[in-house]
Structure 1
Amino acid sequence: MLLISAAFSQAVYAQASCSVSGSTASLLNGQNRTYSATFQSGASYFWSVTGPLTIIGSNTGSSVTVRGNGTGTGRVCYARYKAGALPCAACRTVTVVNNNPCPSTILLLGSVPECLGLGNLFETTLAGNTSFTNYSWSVSGGGASITQNNGNNVRIIAFGNFTVNVSARCNGQTITGTRTVFAPNCDGIILPDINVSPNPTSEQVNIDVKNPTKPGTTYVVEIFNHLGKKEVRKNVKNHESIDVKGLKKGIYFVRVYNSDGKAIDMKRLVINR
Protein backbone atom coordinates (compact mmCIF):
# COMPACT_ATOMS: atom_id res chain seq x y z
CA MET A 1 0.00 0.00 0.00
CA LEU A 2 2.81 2.45 0.83
CA LEU A 3 4.53 1.64 -2.46
CA ILE A 4 1.34 2.33 -4.46
CA SER A 5 0.80 5.64 -2.61
CA ALA A 6 4.33 6.84 -3.31
CA ALA A 7 4.01 6.03 -7.02
CA PHE A 8 0.65 7.93 -7.25
CA SER A 9 2.11 10.99 -5.52
CA GLN A 10 5.03 11.12 -7.97
CA ALA A 11 2.64 10.95 -10.95
CA VAL A 12 0.54 13.87 -9.64
CA TYR A 13 3.35 16.30 -8.88
CA ALA A 14 5.81 15.45 -11.66
CA GLN A 15 6.09 17.93 -14.58
CA ALA A 16 7.15 17.37 -18.14
CA SER A 17 10.17 19.24 -19.46
CA CYS A 18 9.30 22.25 -21.65
CA SER A 19 10.58 25.74 -22.55
CA VAL A 20 9.73 29.04 -24.27
CA SER A 21 11.45 29.55 -27.62
CA GLY A 22 11.99 32.85 -29.40
CA SER A 23 14.50 35.67 -29.76
CA THR A 24 16.64 36.44 -26.73
CA ALA A 25 17.33 40.03 -27.84
CA SER A 26 15.78 43.01 -26.04
CA LEU A 27 12.32 43.94 -27.25
CA LEU A 28 11.77 47.52 -28.39
CA ASN A 29 8.96 49.56 -26.86
CA GLY A 30 6.00 49.24 -29.25
CA GLN A 31 7.51 46.25 -31.08
CA ASN A 32 5.73 42.87 -31.47
CA ARG A 33 7.42 39.48 -31.08
CA THR A 34 6.18 35.87 -31.19
CA TYR A 35 7.20 33.20 -28.67
CA SER A 36 6.45 29.45 -28.93
CA ALA A 37 5.81 26.65 -26.46
CA THR A 38 7.22 23.14 -26.58
CA PHE A 39 4.57 21.57 -28.79
CA GLN A 40 2.49 18.55 -27.79
CA SER A 41 -0.28 17.29 -30.05
CA GLY A 42 -3.75 17.60 -28.52
CA ALA A 43 -2.57 19.77 -25.61
CA SER A 44 -4.18 22.98 -24.31
CA TYR A 45 -2.11 26.11 -23.66
CA PHE A 46 -2.56 29.19 -21.52
CA TRP A 47 -0.14 32.17 -21.84
CA SER A 48 0.35 35.09 -19.45
CA VAL A 49 2.75 38.03 -19.18
CA THR A 50 4.10 40.33 -16.48
CA GLY A 51 5.86 43.71 -16.50
CA PRO A 52 5.86 46.02 -19.57
CA LEU A 53 4.41 43.38 -21.91
CA THR A 54 0.98 43.00 -23.51
CA ILE A 55 -0.43 39.93 -25.26
CA ILE A 56 -1.66 40.67 -28.80
CA GLY A 57 -4.41 38.30 -29.94
CA SER A 58 -5.06 34.83 -28.52
CA ASN A 59 -3.29 33.46 -25.45
CA THR A 60 -4.49 29.86 -25.83
CA GLY A 61 -2.41 28.58 -28.74
CA SER A 62 0.98 26.91 -28.91
CA SER A 63 2.50 30.33 -29.64
CA VAL A 64 1.77 33.88 -28.53
CA THR A 65 2.51 37.43 -29.79
CA VAL A 66 3.48 40.05 -27.23
CA ARG A 67 4.20 43.76 -27.53
CA GLY A 68 6.61 45.92 -25.57
CA ASN A 69 4.55 48.45 -23.62
CA GLY A 70 6.96 50.66 -21.68
CA THR A 71 10.42 49.81 -20.45
CA GLY A 72 11.83 47.33 -17.93
CA THR A 73 11.86 43.57 -17.42
CA GLY A 74 8.88 41.21 -17.73
CA ARG A 75 8.14 37.53 -18.20
CA VAL A 76 6.33 35.50 -20.86
CA CYS A 77 4.90 32.29 -19.37
CA TYR A 78 2.65 29.42 -20.38
CA ALA A 79 1.12 26.29 -18.94
CA ARG A 80 0.38 23.20 -21.06
CA TYR A 81 -2.23 20.58 -20.17
CA LYS A 82 -3.31 17.27 -21.73
CA ALA A 83 -5.43 14.53 -20.27
CA GLY A 84 -3.36 11.54 -19.34
CA ALA A 85 -0.04 13.42 -19.72
CA LEU A 86 2.17 15.33 -17.32
CA PRO A 87 1.50 19.11 -17.18
CA CYS A 88 4.15 21.56 -18.34
CA ALA A 89 4.97 25.20 -17.50
CA ALA A 90 7.80 27.52 -18.54
CA CYS A 91 8.73 31.22 -18.60
CA ARG A 92 11.08 33.50 -20.55
CA THR A 93 12.43 36.81 -19.16
CA VAL A 94 12.12 39.69 -21.66
CA THR A 95 13.73 43.13 -21.40
CA VAL A 96 11.87 46.05 -23.06
CA VAL A 97 13.86 49.13 -24.06
CA ASN A 98 13.15 52.41 -25.86
CA ASN A 99 14.45 52.59 -29.41
CA ASN A 100 14.62 56.38 -29.11
CA PRO A 101 15.16 57.35 -25.47
CA CYS A 102 13.77 60.77 -24.64
CA PRO A 103 16.05 63.40 -23.09
CA SER A 104 15.02 65.30 -19.99
CA THR A 105 15.01 68.60 -21.90
CA ILE A 106 14.96 69.86 -25.49
CA LEU A 107 18.32 71.15 -26.65
CA LEU A 108 17.72 74.25 -28.78
CA LEU A 109 20.31 74.87 -31.46
CA GLY A 110 20.37 78.29 -33.07
CA SER A 111 22.01 80.36 -35.74
CA VAL A 112 24.21 83.29 -34.80
CA PRO A 113 21.91 86.34 -34.36
CA GLU A 114 22.17 88.46 -37.49
CA CYS A 115 21.86 92.24 -37.44
CA LEU A 116 19.42 93.47 -40.05
CA GLY A 117 21.14 96.80 -40.56
CA LEU A 118 18.47 98.91 -38.91
CA GLY A 119 18.85 100.01 -35.33
CA ASN A 120 19.00 97.11 -32.89
CA LEU A 121 16.80 94.79 -34.94
CA PHE A 122 18.24 91.30 -35.40
CA GLU A 123 17.09 87.89 -36.57
CA THR A 124 17.88 84.32 -35.49
CA THR A 125 16.68 80.76 -36.12
CA LEU A 126 16.22 78.12 -33.39
CA ALA A 127 15.62 74.39 -33.90
CA GLY A 128 14.84 71.31 -31.81
CA ASN A 129 15.14 67.55 -32.44
CA THR A 130 13.51 66.55 -35.75
CA SER A 131 12.24 63.26 -34.26
CA PHE A 132 9.97 65.06 -31.76
CA THR A 133 6.39 66.00 -32.64
CA ASN A 134 3.70 68.54 -31.67
CA TYR A 135 6.07 71.46 -31.16
CA SER A 136 4.73 74.54 -29.36
CA TRP A 137 6.84 77.73 -29.27
CA SER A 138 6.61 81.03 -27.41
CA VAL A 139 8.93 84.02 -26.94
CA SER A 140 9.09 86.79 -24.35
CA GLY A 141 11.12 89.98 -23.87
CA GLY A 142 13.18 92.04 -26.27
CA GLY A 143 10.23 92.87 -28.52
CA ALA A 144 10.65 89.37 -29.96
CA SER A 145 8.19 87.89 -32.45
CA ILE A 146 8.08 84.59 -34.28
CA THR A 147 7.94 85.36 -38.00
CA GLN A 148 8.15 81.80 -39.30
CA ASN A 149 7.16 78.52 -37.64
CA ASN A 150 8.21 75.26 -39.34
CA GLY A 151 7.33 72.86 -36.55
CA ASN A 152 10.69 71.89 -35.10
CA ASN A 153 12.31 75.24 -35.98
CA VAL A 154 11.32 78.90 -35.86
CA ARG A 155 12.62 82.22 -37.15
CA ILE A 156 12.51 85.11 -34.69
CA ILE A 157 13.22 88.82 -34.94
CA ALA A 158 13.82 90.98 -31.88
CA PHE A 159 15.27 94.27 -30.66
CA GLY A 160 16.90 92.99 -27.45
CA ASN A 161 17.57 89.95 -25.28
CA PHE A 162 14.69 87.48 -25.29
CA THR A 163 13.74 84.04 -23.98
CA VAL A 164 12.24 81.25 -26.07
CA ASN A 165 10.25 78.39 -24.55
CA VAL A 166 9.29 75.20 -26.36
CA SER A 167 7.51 71.93 -25.68
CA ALA A 168 7.22 68.79 -27.83
CA ARG A 169 6.18 65.15 -27.65
CA CYS A 170 8.65 62.24 -27.50
CA ASN A 171 7.49 58.62 -27.11
CA GLY A 172 4.27 59.80 -25.50
CA GLN A 173 6.04 62.19 -23.12
CA THR A 174 6.00 66.00 -23.10
CA ILE A 175 9.54 67.41 -23.13
CA THR A 176 10.27 71.12 -22.64
CA GLY A 177 13.19 73.41 -23.25
CA THR A 178 14.17 77.05 -22.86
CA ARG A 179 16.94 79.30 -24.11
CA THR A 180 17.89 82.92 -23.68
CA VAL A 181 19.15 84.70 -26.79
CA PHE A 182 21.35 87.75 -26.29
CA ALA A 183 21.17 90.65 -28.70
CA PRO A 184 24.27 91.21 -30.83
CA ASN A 185 25.99 94.59 -30.90
CA CYS A 186 24.15 96.00 -33.88
CA ASP A 187 25.09 99.43 -35.19
CA GLY A 188 22.35 99.91 -37.76
CA ILE A 189 20.57 102.84 -39.31
CA ILE A 190 17.96 104.80 -37.39
CA LEU A 191 14.59 103.18 -37.91
CA PRO A 192 11.98 105.22 -39.74
CA ASP A 193 8.92 105.94 -37.65
CA ILE A 194 6.26 103.63 -39.10
CA ASN A 195 2.63 103.68 -38.07
CA VAL A 196 0.06 100.95 -38.81
CA SER A 197 -3.52 102.17 -38.52
CA PRO A 198 -6.30 101.71 -37.73
CA ASN A 199 -5.29 99.13 -35.16
CA PRO A 200 -7.43 97.13 -34.37
CA THR A 201 -9.04 96.95 -37.80
CA SER A 202 -11.38 94.73 -39.76
CA GLU A 203 -11.19 95.85 -43.40
CA GLN A 204 -7.98 97.71 -44.23
CA VAL A 205 -4.75 98.92 -42.67
CA ASN A 206 -2.74 102.01 -43.67
CA ILE A 207 1.06 102.01 -43.76
CA ASP A 208 2.49 105.42 -42.87
CA VAL A 209 6.26 105.97 -42.93
CA LYS A 210 7.23 109.24 -41.28
CA ASN A 211 10.37 110.94 -42.55
CA PRO A 212 11.09 108.42 -45.34
CA THR A 213 14.69 108.44 -46.56
CA LYS A 214 13.53 108.57 -50.20
CA PRO A 215 10.21 110.18 -51.14
CA GLY A 216 8.14 107.98 -53.44
CA THR A 217 9.78 104.76 -52.18
CA THR A 218 7.85 101.54 -52.74
CA TYR A 219 7.74 99.34 -49.62
CA VAL A 220 7.09 95.62 -49.34
CA VAL A 221 4.63 94.76 -46.59
CA GLU A 222 4.20 91.23 -45.26
CA ILE A 223 1.59 90.17 -42.70
CA PHE A 224 2.18 87.02 -40.62
CA ASN A 225 -0.23 85.20 -38.33
CA HIS A 226 0.67 84.25 -34.74
CA LEU A 227 2.23 80.97 -35.96
CA GLY A 228 4.57 82.77 -38.33
CA LYS A 229 2.67 81.87 -41.52
CA LYS A 230 2.75 84.59 -44.17
CA GLU A 231 -0.81 85.63 -45.01
CA VAL A 232 -0.29 88.79 -47.08
CA ARG A 233 2.52 90.26 -49.21
CA LYS A 234 2.01 93.51 -51.10
CA ASN A 235 4.00 96.38 -52.57
CA VAL A 236 2.74 99.78 -51.39
CA LYS A 237 3.65 103.44 -51.49
CA ASN A 238 3.75 105.52 -48.34
CA HIS A 239 0.26 106.19 -46.88
CA GLU A 240 -1.33 103.43 -49.00
CA SER A 241 -3.73 100.92 -47.47
CA ILE A 242 -3.86 97.13 -47.59
CA ASP A 243 -7.07 95.09 -47.73
CA VAL A 244 -7.25 92.70 -44.75
CA LYS A 245 -10.88 91.60 -45.04
CA GLY A 246 -9.67 88.06 -45.83
CA LEU A 247 -7.86 87.67 -42.50
CA LYS A 248 -9.49 85.86 -39.61
CA LYS A 249 -9.88 87.48 -36.19
CA GLY A 250 -6.65 87.40 -34.23
CA ILE A 251 -3.18 88.86 -33.69
CA TYR A 252 -0.87 89.41 -36.68
CA PHE A 253 2.54 90.93 -37.32
CA VAL A 254 3.17 93.49 -40.05
CA ARG A 255 6.72 93.53 -41.39
CA VAL A 256 7.86 96.39 -43.65
CA TYR A 257 10.83 96.25 -46.05
CA ASN A 258 12.46 99.13 -47.90
CA SER A 259 13.32 99.16 -51.60
CA ASP A 260 16.62 97.37 -50.90
CA GLY A 261 14.81 94.43 -49.34
CA LYS A 262 15.90 95.29 -45.79
CA ALA A 263 13.35 94.92 -43.01
CA ILE A 264 12.87 98.31 -41.41
CA ASP A 265 10.16 97.67 -38.84
CA MET A 266 7.58 95.25 -37.54
CA LYS A 267 4.31 96.11 -35.84
CA ARG A 268 1.66 94.09 -34.08
CA LEU A 269 -1.79 94.21 -35.72
CA VAL A 270 -5.13 93.11 -34.26
CA ILE A 271 -7.93 91.99 -36.59
CA ASN A 272 -11.44 92.24 -35.20
CA ARG A 273 -14.54 90.56 -36.61
Structure 2
Amino acid sequence: MKCLFSILVIIGNSNVLLANNDNCRENDLNALMVRLRVLRTEFADLKIKHEELINRIDLINDTQVVLKETNDNQETELRKHREEINNASSEIKLINIKNTKQEKELIELRKQINKTSSDINTENRKQDTELTKLRTEIDALKGEKVVAFTGTTPKAGTSSTSMSFTTVITNEGNAFDTSTGKFTCPVSGLYYFSLHIIKKRTNPPAVPVDRAGCFINLNGLSKVRAHIDPYAYTTDIGSYGVSTSVYLNLKVRDVVTIENCYGTIPDTVDSWTSFSGYLERQV
Protein backbone atom coordinates (compact mmCIF):
# COMPACT_ATOMS: atom_id res chain seq x y z
CA MET A 1 0.00 0.00 0.00
CA LYS A 2 1.24 3.30 -0.90
CA CYS A 3 1.30 6.25 1.51
CA LEU A 4 2.12 9.71 0.56
CA PHE A 5 3.82 11.81 3.22
CA SER A 6 4.96 15.28 3.20
CA ILE A 7 7.62 15.90 5.93
CA LEU A 8 9.08 19.20 6.88
CA VAL A 9 11.94 19.18 9.39
CA ILE A 10 13.06 22.46 10.86
CA ILE A 11 16.43 21.93 12.57
CA GLY A 12 16.61 25.31 14.29
CA ASN A 13 13.37 24.81 16.23
CA SER A 14 13.46 21.03 16.16
CA ASN A 15 9.89 20.99 14.90
CA VAL A 16 8.58 18.32 12.66
CA LEU A 17 5.43 18.74 10.72
CA LEU A 18 3.97 15.62 9.51
CA ALA A 19 1.19 15.49 7.11
CA ASN A 20 -0.45 12.40 5.97
CA ASN A 21 -3.43 11.58 3.95
CA ASP A 22 -6.34 9.61 5.00
CA ASN A 23 -5.04 6.53 3.23
CA CYS A 24 -1.97 6.02 5.58
CA ARG A 25 -2.12 3.63 8.34
CA GLU A 26 -1.30 4.44 11.92
CA ASN A 27 1.56 1.92 11.94
CA ASP A 28 3.28 3.64 9.08
CA LEU A 29 3.02 6.89 11.00
CA ASN A 30 4.57 5.36 14.06
CA ALA A 31 7.40 3.93 11.97
CA LEU A 32 8.04 7.31 10.49
CA MET A 33 8.12 8.89 13.95
CA VAL A 34 10.68 6.32 15.10
CA ARG A 35 12.75 6.95 12.01
CA LEU A 36 12.53 10.68 12.62
CA ARG A 37 13.77 10.32 16.17
CA VAL A 38 16.69 8.25 14.91
CA LEU A 39 17.53 10.89 12.36
CA ARG A 40 17.32 13.58 14.99
CA THR A 41 19.71 11.60 17.18
CA GLU A 42 22.09 11.06 14.26
CA PHE A 43 21.84 14.75 13.42
CA ALA A 44 22.70 15.71 16.98
CA ASP A 45 25.69 13.35 16.84
CA LEU A 46 26.77 14.82 13.53
CA LYS A 47 26.47 18.31 14.99
CA ILE A 48 28.70 17.33 17.91
CA LYS A 49 31.18 15.76 15.53
CA HIS A 50 31.02 18.89 13.40
CA GLU A 51 31.81 21.06 16.41
CA GLU A 52 34.65 18.73 17.34
CA LEU A 53 35.99 18.99 13.80
CA ILE A 54 35.73 22.78 13.96
CA ASN A 55 37.62 22.76 17.26
CA ARG A 56 40.24 20.43 15.82
CA ILE A 57 40.59 22.69 12.75
CA ASP A 58 41.01 25.72 15.06
CA LEU A 59 43.58 23.82 17.08
CA ILE A 60 45.38 22.82 13.89
CA ASN A 61 45.31 26.44 12.72
CA ASP A 62 46.66 27.61 16.07
CA THR A 63 49.31 24.92 15.90
CA GLN A 64 50.23 26.01 12.39
CA VAL A 65 50.57 29.60 13.59
CA VAL A 66 52.80 28.49 16.45
CA LEU A 67 54.77 26.26 14.12
CA LYS A 68 55.14 29.12 11.67
CA GLU A 69 56.36 31.44 14.41
CA THR A 70 58.71 28.72 15.63
CA ASN A 71 59.91 28.12 12.10
CA ASP A 72 60.46 31.87 11.60
CA ASN A 73 62.39 32.02 14.88
CA GLN A 74 64.44 29.01 13.88
CA GLU A 75 65.17 30.57 10.51
CA THR A 76 66.24 33.78 12.28
CA GLU A 77 68.46 31.76 14.62
CA LEU A 78 69.77 29.80 11.65
CA ARG A 79 70.67 33.03 9.82
CA LYS A 80 72.31 34.30 12.99
CA HIS A 81 74.29 31.08 13.35
CA ARG A 82 75.29 31.24 9.70
CA GLU A 83 76.54 34.80 10.22
CA GLU A 84 78.45 33.67 13.32
CA ILE A 85 79.93 30.78 11.34
CA ASN A 86 80.93 33.15 8.54
CA ASN A 87 82.50 35.55 11.08
CA ALA A 88 84.23 32.64 12.77
CA SER A 89 85.52 31.48 9.39
CA SER A 90 86.91 34.96 8.75
CA GLU A 91 88.53 35.00 12.17
CA ILE A 92 89.97 31.54 11.54
CA LYS A 93 91.43 32.79 8.27
CA LEU A 94 93.00 35.75 10.09
CA ILE A 95 94.31 33.41 12.80
CA ASN A 96 95.76 31.12 10.14
CA ILE A 97 97.46 34.13 8.53
CA LYS A 98 98.83 35.22 11.93
CA ASN A 99 99.92 31.67 12.69
CA THR A 100 101.73 31.51 9.38
CA LYS A 101 103.47 34.81 10.17
CA GLN A 102 104.30 33.64 13.70
CA GLU A 103 105.62 30.35 12.35
CA LYS A 104 107.93 32.28 10.03
CA GLU A 105 109.03 34.49 12.93
CA LEU A 106 109.52 31.38 15.07
CA ILE A 107 111.67 29.79 12.38
CA GLU A 108 113.74 32.96 12.15
CA LEU A 109 114.00 33.13 15.94
CA ARG A 110 115.14 29.52 16.07
CA LYS A 111 117.80 30.34 13.51
CA GLN A 112 118.95 33.25 15.65
CA ILE A 113 118.90 31.06 18.77
CA ASN A 114 120.90 28.38 17.00
CA LYS A 115 123.39 31.00 15.83
CA THR A 116 123.57 32.48 19.34
CA SER A 117 124.01 29.01 20.82
CA SER A 118 126.78 28.36 18.32
CA ASP A 119 128.42 31.68 19.23
CA ILE A 120 128.06 30.86 22.93
CA ASN A 121 129.59 27.43 22.41
CA THR A 122 132.44 29.02 20.50
CA GLU A 123 132.94 31.58 23.27
CA ASN A 124 132.74 28.83 25.90
CA ARG A 125 135.39 26.83 24.08
CA LYS A 126 137.52 29.96 23.88
CA GLN A 127 137.05 30.62 27.59
CA ASP A 128 137.80 26.99 28.38
CA THR A 129 141.03 27.34 26.45
CA GLU A 130 141.88 30.55 28.31
CA LEU A 131 140.94 28.92 31.61
CA THR A 132 143.17 25.95 30.87
CA LYS A 133 145.97 28.34 30.01
CA LEU A 134 145.32 30.32 33.19
CA ARG A 135 145.33 27.15 35.28
CA THR A 136 148.61 26.20 33.69
CA GLU A 137 149.98 29.62 34.58
CA ILE A 138 148.62 29.31 38.13
CA ASP A 139 150.21 25.88 38.48
CA ALA A 140 153.46 27.39 37.29
CA LEU A 141 153.11 30.19 39.84
CA LYS A 142 152.60 27.83 42.77
CA GLY A 143 156.34 27.65 43.26
CA GLU A 144 158.25 30.44 44.97
CA LYS A 145 157.77 33.65 43.06
CA VAL A 146 159.29 37.08 43.51
CA VAL A 147 156.80 39.97 43.28
CA ALA A 148 158.00 43.50 44.11
CA PHE A 149 157.61 46.98 42.69
CA THR A 150 158.32 50.66 43.38
CA GLY A 151 156.88 53.51 41.36
CA THR A 152 157.77 57.20 41.60
CA THR A 153 157.05 60.51 39.84
CA PRO A 154 153.25 60.92 39.93
CA LYS A 155 151.86 61.25 36.45
CA ALA A 156 151.40 64.90 35.47
CA GLY A 157 147.96 66.09 34.46
CA THR A 158 146.00 63.35 36.26
CA SER A 159 143.07 63.99 38.60
CA SER A 160 143.79 64.56 42.27
CA THR A 161 141.41 61.72 43.19
CA SER A 162 143.65 59.00 41.78
CA MET A 163 147.41 58.61 41.46
CA SER A 164 149.55 56.82 38.88
CA PHE A 165 153.32 56.89 38.39
CA THR A 166 155.52 57.36 35.36
CA THR A 167 158.77 56.03 36.74
CA VAL A 168 159.18 52.38 37.75
CA ILE A 169 162.26 51.54 39.82
CA THR A 170 161.36 47.89 40.36
CA ASN A 171 158.63 45.72 38.82
CA GLU A 172 159.44 42.07 39.53
CA GLY A 173 156.62 39.89 38.21
CA ASN A 174 155.28 42.75 36.01
CA ALA A 175 152.21 43.17 38.21
CA PHE A 176 152.39 46.98 38.46
CA ASP A 177 150.89 49.05 35.61
CA THR A 178 152.35 52.58 35.33
CA SER A 179 149.60 53.76 32.96
CA THR A 180 146.90 53.17 35.55
CA GLY A 181 148.81 52.93 38.84
CA LYS A 182 147.16 49.54 39.49
CA PHE A 183 148.87 46.59 41.12
CA THR A 184 147.13 43.34 40.05
CA CYS A 185 147.95 40.36 42.26
CA PRO A 186 149.62 37.58 40.21
CA VAL A 187 149.81 35.01 43.02
CA SER A 188 147.92 34.64 46.30
CA GLY A 189 149.83 35.57 49.42
CA LEU A 190 150.64 38.14 52.09
CA TYR A 191 151.75 41.46 50.60
CA TYR A 192 153.28 44.59 52.11
CA PHE A 193 152.46 48.02 50.60
CA SER A 194 153.78 51.47 51.49
CA LEU A 195 152.97 54.98 50.27
CA HIS A 196 155.14 58.05 50.85
CA ILE A 197 153.82 61.46 49.73
CA ILE A 198 156.12 64.51 49.49
CA LYS A 199 154.00 67.65 49.11
CA LYS A 200 155.22 71.06 47.99
CA ARG A 201 153.96 74.01 50.01
CA THR A 202 152.03 76.74 48.26
CA ASN A 203 154.06 79.82 47.36
CA PRO A 204 152.97 82.10 48.85
CA PRO A 205 150.62 80.20 51.21
CA ALA A 206 147.06 81.07 50.25
CA VAL A 207 145.38 79.35 53.17
CA PRO A 208 146.39 78.66 56.75
CA VAL A 209 146.28 74.91 56.12
CA ASP A 210 148.27 73.07 53.48
CA ARG A 211 147.09 69.45 53.71
CA ALA A 212 147.70 66.27 51.67
CA GLY A 213 146.58 62.65 51.74
CA CYS A 214 145.65 59.47 49.89
CA PHE A 215 144.16 56.03 50.59
CA ILE A 216 145.53 52.61 49.69
CA ASN A 217 142.56 50.74 48.20
CA LEU A 218 141.96 47.03 47.72
CA ASN A 219 139.45 46.26 44.96
CA GLY A 220 138.02 49.76 45.29
CA LEU A 221 137.73 49.71 49.10
CA SER A 222 139.90 51.92 51.30
CA LYS A 223 142.26 50.07 53.67
CA VAL A 224 144.73 52.64 55.09
CA ARG A 225 145.18 56.40 54.79
CA ALA A 226 148.19 58.73 54.56
CA HIS A 227 147.25 62.21 55.80
CA ILE A 228 148.95 65.41 56.96
CA ASP A 229 147.48 68.84 57.65
CA PRO A 230 150.23 71.28 58.78
CA TYR A 231 150.03 75.02 59.14
CA ALA A 232 151.60 76.98 56.29
CA TYR A 233 153.70 79.90 57.51
CA THR A 234 154.57 82.74 55.21
CA THR A 235 158.24 82.34 56.03
CA ASP A 236 158.25 78.57 55.51
CA ILE A 237 157.94 77.82 51.78
CA GLY A 238 159.37 74.29 51.63
CA SER A 239 157.93 70.78 51.50
CA TYR A 240 156.76 68.07 53.85
CA GLY A 241 155.98 64.36 53.69
CA VAL A 242 153.63 61.74 55.07
CA SER A 243 153.73 57.94 54.84
CA THR A 244 151.54 54.91 55.48
CA SER A 245 151.87 51.15 55.02
CA VAL A 246 149.74 48.02 55.23
CA TYR A 247 149.90 44.21 55.03
CA LEU A 248 147.18 42.70 52.80
CA ASN A 249 146.21 39.10 52.14
CA LEU A 250 145.58 39.04 48.41
CA LYS A 251 144.12 36.56 45.99
CA VAL A 252 144.94 36.26 42.31
CA ARG A 253 143.55 39.27 40.35
CA ASP A 254 142.96 41.43 43.44
CA VAL A 255 143.76 45.07 42.59
CA VAL A 256 145.56 47.59 44.83
CA THR A 257 145.50 51.31 43.88
CA ILE A 258 146.10 54.78 45.35
CA GLU A 259 142.74 56.57 45.41
CA ASN A 260 140.70 59.41 46.95
CA CYS A 261 143.70 61.73 47.02
CA TYR A 262 143.34 65.38 48.00
CA GLY A 263 145.80 68.21 47.88
CA THR A 264 148.05 66.01 45.75
CA ILE A 265 147.61 67.34 42.25
CA PRO A 266 150.82 66.28 40.41
CA ASP A 267 151.97 69.89 40.01
CA THR A 268 152.21 70.20 43.80
CA VAL A 269 153.44 66.65 44.60
CA ASP A 270 157.19 66.09 44.54
CA SER A 271 158.57 63.52 42.09
CA TRP A 272 160.12 61.67 45.04
CA THR A 273 156.61 60.56 46.07
CA SER A 274 156.62 56.76 45.86
CA PHE A 275 154.38 53.70 46.00
CA SER A 276 155.92 50.29 46.76
CA GLY A 277 154.85 46.72 47.46
CA TYR A 278 156.18 43.19 47.60
CA LEU A 279 155.14 39.58 48.24
CA GLU A 280 156.32 38.61 51.68
CA ARG A 281 154.85 35.12 51.84
CA GLN A 282 153.11 33.06 49.16
CA VAL A 283 149.96 31.21 50.18
Does TM-score exceed 0.5, indicating one fold? no
Q: TM-score, length-normalised on structure 2? A: 0.18
Q: TM-score, normalised by structure 1?
A: 0.18
Q: Which of the two has greater helix per residue? A: 2
Larger radius of gyration: 2
Larger RCO, structure (CA 8 Å, separation 6 or more): 2
